[in-house]
């Protein structure tokens, strides 16, 4: 990748023209919205609420389904000049593998397994919190496709290292840490939860120290590359993730708060930092904070 800052899944990742604009604005790679075997409507509004230092969302994985989305993948591959990663979810190992196979056949450069969505039953984090189920999903997908398989982990677990090690043993080529943190927001006037699903996932600056800790712990125990995700808003955040052990970062919520210029700002900021500190490449600072 020309830049270590990728677009995170679910943020503007449906429409090819939008993804193209994001790539033109300096994203190193694009990750699509999570796609399942069948179309899914998602939850009724409200699905997103802004909170202090972030947002809580429960969209409910709305998506057109893989049959419809293969056309978008093909179109994306024609127009994007950066790698295109298709995020997928399923309700069984077979379903994950089937969707992954269709995405790869249509031209996806990699697949990212969403085993960490905190607000849809029987998929997402219900899979990613159980090492045995997770391993069967990763093995099935690994056997079904030749492209790299990323596994996006949940921060809502007691021991993320155990889960990351399981994913890696089962064949994951990279780990993305992390998805949103389980959360809720309540309207004091109505006295009720604001989101139609009640609970949701917290993203933005408030989750950065949590996801950063996930990356830091994973780096000490797993060999596969780690992609940092959660609250990256500027080049300093991205650099913290690199120093913790990530080789790239994903940016989501900051697009809403900082605009599309955030990608260019991150990559220029990191380049300046590397120059100032006498390093030549991003790889030179990956995991540096672990030295004694």
| Interface residue list for ligand FMN (CB under 6 A) | 8-11, 33-34, 48, 55, 57, 59, 61, 87, 114, 117, 152, 179-180, 203-204, 207, 229-232, 251-254
Question: What is the CB neighbour count within 10 angstroms for residue 290?
Answer: 12
Nearer to ligand FMN, 59 or 215 (CB): 59
**Nearest CA to 170 among 143, 148, 139, 127?**
139
Q: Alpha-carbon dihedral of residues 284, 5, 147, 115, nearest 10 degrees?
A: 110
Cα 153 to Cα 115: distance, rounded to the nearest angstrom: 6
Q: How far is the CB of 47 from ligand FMN (least distance, A)?
A: 8
The one-character DSSP state at 277 is H
Q: At how many degrees (to 10) do helices 208-221 and 160-169 cross?
A: 50
Active site residue 214: no
Cα 257 to Cα 81: distance, rounded to the nearest angstrom: 26
Cα 132 to Cα 167: distance, rounded to the nearest angstrom: 10
Q: What is the helix (H) or strand (E) element at residue 56, kind and residue range?
A: strand 54-57
**Which whole-number Å values give the CA distances from 90 to 81, 119, 286, in the listed order?**
28, 14, 32
User: Which active-site residues does the annotation give?
Assistant: 117
């Amino acid at each position: 990748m020309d830049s270590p800052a990728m677009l995170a899944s679910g943020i503007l990742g449906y429409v090819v023209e939008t993804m193209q604009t994001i790539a033109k604005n300096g994203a190193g790679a694009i990750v699509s919205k999570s796609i399942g075997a069948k179309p899914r409507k998602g939850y009724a509004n409200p699905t997103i609420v802004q909170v202090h230092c972030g947002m809580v969302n429960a969209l409910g994985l709305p998506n057109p389904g893989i049959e419809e989305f293969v056309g978008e993948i093909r179109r994306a591959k024609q127009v994007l000049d950066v790698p295109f990663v298709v995020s997928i979810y399923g309700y069984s190992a077979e379903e994950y593998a089937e969707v992954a196979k269709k995405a790869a056949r249509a031209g996806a450069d990699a697949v990212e397994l969403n085993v960490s969505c905190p607000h849809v039953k029987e998929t997402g984090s219900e899979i990613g919190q159980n090492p045995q189920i997770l391993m069967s999903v990763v093995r099935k997908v690994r056997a079904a496709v030749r492209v790299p398989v990323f596994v996006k982990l949940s921060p809502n677990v007691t021991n993320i290292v155990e889960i990351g090690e399981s994913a890696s043993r089962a064949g994951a080529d990279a780990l993305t840490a992390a998805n949103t943190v389980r959360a809720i927001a309540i309207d004091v006037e109505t006295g009720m939860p604001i989101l139609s699903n009640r609970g949701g996932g917290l993203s933005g600056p408030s989750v950065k120290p949590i996801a950063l800790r996930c990356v830091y712990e994973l780096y000490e125990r797993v060999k596969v590359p780690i992609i940092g995700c959660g609250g990256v808003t500027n080049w300093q955040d991205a650099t913290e993730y690199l120093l913790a052990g990530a080789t790239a970062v994903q940016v989501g919520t900051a697009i809403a708060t900082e605009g599309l210029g955030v990608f260019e700002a991150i990559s220029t900021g990191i380049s300046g930092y590397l120059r100032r500190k006498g390093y030549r490449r991003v790889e030179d600072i990956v995991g540096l904070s672990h030295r004694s």
